[in-house]
Amino acid sequence: MKHWLTFGWIAALRFLAEGWMQTAFIVSGIAVGVGVIIFMAAMLTSVQTNYTNRVLTSQPQIQLQPPDEVARPLRLDGPDIELATIQSATQRNRALDQWQAILIEMRARPDVVVATPSVSGSALAVRGNASKSINVLGMEPADYFRIVRVPDYIIAGTPILGVDDILVGIDLANDLGAGIGDRLNVNAANSVVRTLTIRGIFDVGNKGANERNTYVALRTAQSLLNLIGGVTDIDMTVSNVYAAEDVAQDIEAALPIKAQSWIRTNIQFFTAIKAQTLSSLLIRSLVGLSVAFGIAAVLVVSVLQRSKDIGILRAMGSSRGQVLRIFLIQGGVLGFIGSLLGSILGAAALLMWHHYARQPNGQEFFPLIVRPSLFVWASLLATLTGVFAGTVPALRAAKLDPVEAIRG
C-alpha cells in the first residue's frame, strides 16, 4: 500500500514538473481566486461584526415598556349606543406597572445577562438665547453602561453622573455653545425645570443621536419627568444576541408589557446584511467554479498530452486505480499550492487596503477582523476543489486502453 501511494505521488509530481508552464498558470489562477475569496470574506466579516457591535453597544438588546394605550368606544345615554368614530389614544409618558417585580423576574432569567431600569422623556435644553429639543434618559450608570457603552464614546469630560449632572452629544453642545462645566436649564413638559451641569460630551457617530440624546442619573430624570419612584423602561442584554427576538416574544406572552428587541427595531439593518451576505456568497461561488474549471481544463489537456505515457504505465502493470489517483493527486496538489499562495496574496491585499484606505480625517473605516480559521477553510476548500475538478480527467485517463493509448 505504501509503495503504491509513493508511485502515485512520484508520477503526479513528475507530470506537474514536466508541464511547468501549465502548472504555473493554473496555480496563479487558483492563487488569485483564493486571494479574492479570502479578501471578500474578511471584509464582509469585518463590516458585519463592526456594524453589529456598534448597534449592540448603542442601544439595549431588549427593552420592556408599558403596553400601548388603546382607545375605547364612548357610550351615550343608551346602553347599546356607541359613537361610530374612535380616535387613536395619545401615548403618554407612563410608568411601568410593578416594575420592581418585573425587574427581579428578568434578572432571574438564565438567558438575561443585564437588566436595569431607566426613565426617558422629552424636554427642552436652554442656554442663554439658544434652546434645543432633547430626549432625557435617566439610568443607573453602573448597570446601564454595561448595556449601552456610553463611556466608549466620551470625547471630553467624564461619564460619572451626579444628581445635577448631564451627558450631552457633541452636536447638541455645539448648537448650544456649551462645554464641560457649563450649565443647562432643562425644561420638561410638566413645567419642571432643573439646572444641570455638563460633565461629559459624547460622539456616537450619528448626528441625530448627538443632537438629541442626553443622559442623567435615574433620580434626576424621575423628578424632572414627574415619575417619582417609577420607570418607563427596563433595558436588557441577553446571552445570545441573535435570539433576542425569541426572548422578547416569550416575555410578551408571559407578562402584560411590550417587549421590543434590537432585531425588530433594526429590521432594515438585517435586510441589508442578508443581501450583502448573499451577494458575497454568489461572487465567491462563481470564483470557486472558475477555479475548478481551470484545474479541470489543465488536467484534461495533461491527459491528452500524456496518453502515451498512461498507456505505457498501464502496459507495465499499473492498475486503473493507480492511474486514477495520479490525476487526483495532481488536482489536490494544484489546489493546495494555489491556496497557500492565495492566502498570502489575500492577507497582503487586506493589510494594504487597511493601511491605505482611510477616512478623510485619517482614521480607519473600521477595525479589520481576520480569523486564522478563514485561511484554513480556504486552503481546505481549494484542495478539495482541486481533487474534485480532477475527477473527470482522472476517470478519462483510467479508462484509456493501453494499446490504443500507445498507438494514438
Integer-rounded Cα Rg, in Å, for the chain is 33
**Residue 284 in contact with residue 101, Cβ under 8 Å?**
no
The answer to whether residue 36 is domain-embedded is yes
The answer to whether residue 81 is domain-embedded is no
Q: Are residues 256 and 112 in the same domain?
A: yes
The answer to whether residue 374 is domain-embedded is yes
Structural domain boundaries, residue 46: 2-55+269-407
How does DSSP classify residue 370? -
Predicted pLDDT of residue 64: 93
φ, ψ (nearest 5 deg) of residue 291 = -65, -45
The answer to whether residue 61 is domain-embedded is no
Q: Say how many C-beta atoms besides its own lie within 10 A of residue 128's C-beta.
A: 9
To which H or E segment does residue 348 belong? helix 320-356
Mapping DSSP to helix (H, G, I), strand (E, B) and coil, where does residue 46 land?
helix
Q: How far, rounded to the nearest angstrom, does the alpha carbon of residue 84 sit from its chain's CA centroid?
A: 49
The answer to whether residue 186 is domain-embedded is yes
First vs last Cα of the chain: how many Å apart?
31
Q: Are residues 295 and 231 in the same domain?
A: no
Q: Are residues 38 and 120 in the same domain?
A: no
Predicted pLDDT of residue 234: 94
Count of structural domains within the chain: 2
Residue in 93, 145, 101 with CA at minimum distance from that of residue 119: 93
Predicted pLDDT of residue 391: 74
Q: Are residues 110 and 252 in the same domain?
A: yes
Q: Are residues 307 and 389 in the same domain?
A: yes
**Residue 370 in contact with residue 280, Cβ under 8 Å?**
no
Q: Are residues 227 and 300 in the same domain?
A: no
Cell digits of residue 142 = 453602573
What pLDDT digit, counting tens, does each position of 78-132 carry? 555 555 555 554 445 678 888 999 999 999 999 999 999 999 999 999 998 888 9
Distance CA 103, CA 140 (A): 13
- Report CA-CA distances (Å) from 37 to 50, 282, 285, 380, 399: 20, 11, 9, 13, 35
pLDDT along the chain (408 residues), means of 10: 57 74 80 83 80 79 82 58 54 78 94 93 90 93 92 92 94 93 90 91 88 94 90 93 90 90 83 77 77 71 65 68 76 83 88 77 71 81 77 69 60
Q: Are residues 235 and 116 in the same domain?
A: yes
Cell digits of residue 94 = 407612563
Predicted pLDDT of residue 91: 47
Last residue of a domain, one of 230, 260, 290: 260
Q: Are residues 198 and 276 in the same domain?
A: no
Predicted pLDDT of residue 182: 93
Helix axes 20-56, 2-18, angle to 10 degrees: 100
pTM of this structure: 0.67
Predicted pLDDT of residue 2: 44
Last residue of a domain, one of 260, 291, 320: 260
Q: Are residues 364 and 223 in the same domain?
A: no
Distance CA 393, CA 387 (A): 11
Mapping DSSP to helix (H, G, I), strand (E, B) and coil, where does residue 395 land?
helix
Q: Are residues 171 and 210 in the same domain?
A: yes
Residue in 53, 357, 355, 351 with CA at minimum distance from that of residue 205: 53
